[in-house]
Amino acid sequence: MHISEGYLSGPILISGAVLAAAGTAVGLKRLDYDQIAQGGILASTFFVTSLVHVPIGPSNAHLIMNGIIGLLLGWSACPVILAALVLQAVFFQFGGITTLGVNEIIMAAPAVAVYYLFGPWISRSGWVGMAAAFAGGALAVAFSAIVMALCLFFTDENFLAVAVAAILVHLPVMIIEGVVSAFCVGFLKKVKPEMLPRTPGEQTSVFDHSPLS
C-alpha cells in the first residue's frame, strides 16, 4: 500500500504533504493525554502488521489496521499513523521521505472517514456493533486502495492498470481486516469499553470531564 519514491508527480507530492500536515495538526490538537499510551500501542500495531505479508497469487499484500485505529482514535489517527510511517521509511525503506505525505493520506484519511461513518455505532450491542466494526475495518482498506489508485492515475494515466491491480490485490485483505476489527471491538467491549466511541444520542455526563474521573 506504500508508494515508493520516484513515481509520483510534484503536484501530487506537494498536495499530499500539505494535507498530511493539516490532518496531523488537527489530530495532535484532538489527542487527549489519556490517549497517548493507546496511540503508541496502535502505532506499534500498524508498524508490525505491515511487516507480515500475505501471498496473493503472483503478488502479496499486508495488513494495514488503519480501520481499527481510525475507529478508536478518529482524527488522532493522523499523528499515530504518521509516526509509524516515518519509522517504516527510515528503518525498512517502505515508501519514502518525499512520499511520506501522500502515504499518510492514503492510510490516515480513510481511518478518519470510517470513524465518522461507523465509529459511533461500534459500541452498540449485538450484530449492529459487529457489523459496524467489520465495515470500518474492511472499508478503510478499500478507501486506502482507491486513494492510492487515484494518486497513481493522476500522476500518469499509464498507471491505470497498476492502480486497478492494487485494488484487486487488497480485496482479501479487506475481509481479513474486517474480521480482525470486529474481533478487537468485541474484545474491548468486554475488557475496556471506555475506549470505544459513544453511541449516537448517548449523553455525556458532567463527571466524564471531572479531573477526578
203 vs 209: CA distance, rounded Å: 13
Tell me whether residue 195 is in a domain.
yes
The total number of structural domains in the chain stands at 1
Length of the chain: 213
When pLDDT is cut at 50, 70 and 90, the band that residue 58 belongs to is very low
Tell me whether residue 74 is in a domain.
yes
Tell me whether residue 3 is in a domain.
no
pLDDT at 113: 96
Position 204 pLDDT exceeds 50: no
Tell me whether residue 1 is in a domain.
no
* DSSP string computed for 35-46: GHHHHHHHHHHH
Looking up cell 474480521 gives: 179
The domain containing residue 37 runs over which residues?
A: 10-199
What CATH number should be reported for the domain holding residue 183? 1.10.1760.20
pLDDT at 12: 92
Position 189 pLDDT exceeds 50: yes
Task: Judge whether 162 and 151 are in contact, CB under 8 Å.
Answer: no
What mean pLDDT is predicted for residues 180-196? 90
Tell me whether residue 210 is in a domain.
no
What mean pLDDT is predicted for residues 72-88? 93
- For the whole model, what pTM was predicted? 0.83
Tell me whether residue 209 is in a domain.
no
When pLDDT is cut at 50, 70 and 90, the band that residue 212 belongs to is very low
pLDDT at 178: 94
61: phi then psi, degrees, rounded to nearest 5: -135, 175
What mean pLDDT is predicted for residues 189-213? 59
Tell me whether residue 4 is in a domain.
no
Rounded to a whole number of angstroms, the distance between the first and last alpha carbons of the chain is 40
